[in-house]
Amino acid sequence: YVPKEWIDDRQRARRAGIPDDQAFATKPQIALAQLREAIASGIVPGIVLADAGYGDETAFREGISELGLLYAVGIRPGTSVWAPGTAPLPPKPWNGRRNPPTLLRRA
């Protein structure tokens, strides 16, 4: 993992020995790439375990599912997770009083 600030600062990256063609990738993106490589090299898959730093990322969870892997990941209390094919309802209609509603609703 290389921080985005380092990738964006080419002089700093060169001093650190980071190749010019190195692109920024988040830790979840790197982890998915490593999982794909492991599967491609024939490693027998197990269950993917990850903390909330990874589990909060929808794309990470979806990527694991696309690979056909089972997972148990942490999520932070404020993270919304919806079953496949479901989604939250929009906020209640504004009645013209106070601030307009912004909270998503469950069916």
Kindly give the confidence (pLDDT) of every residue in the chain, 107 residues in length, as a single tens digit, with 9 standing for 90 and above.
Answer: 999 999 999 999 999 999 999 999 999 999 999 999 999 999 998 999 999 999 999 999 999 999 999 999 999 998 887 788 888 888 888 988 889 988 888 77
Contact at 8 Å (CB) between 53 and 27?
yes
Work out the angle at residue 101's Cα, subtended by the Cα atoms of residues 95 and 105, and round it to the nearest 5 degrees.
115
pLDDT score for 35: 97
pTM over 0.85: no
So what's the pLDDT on residue 4?
A: 93
Q: How many residues does the chain have?
A: 107
Confidence at residue 88, expressed as pLDDT on a 0 to 100 scale: 86
- Distance (Å, whole) CA 15 – CA 13: 5
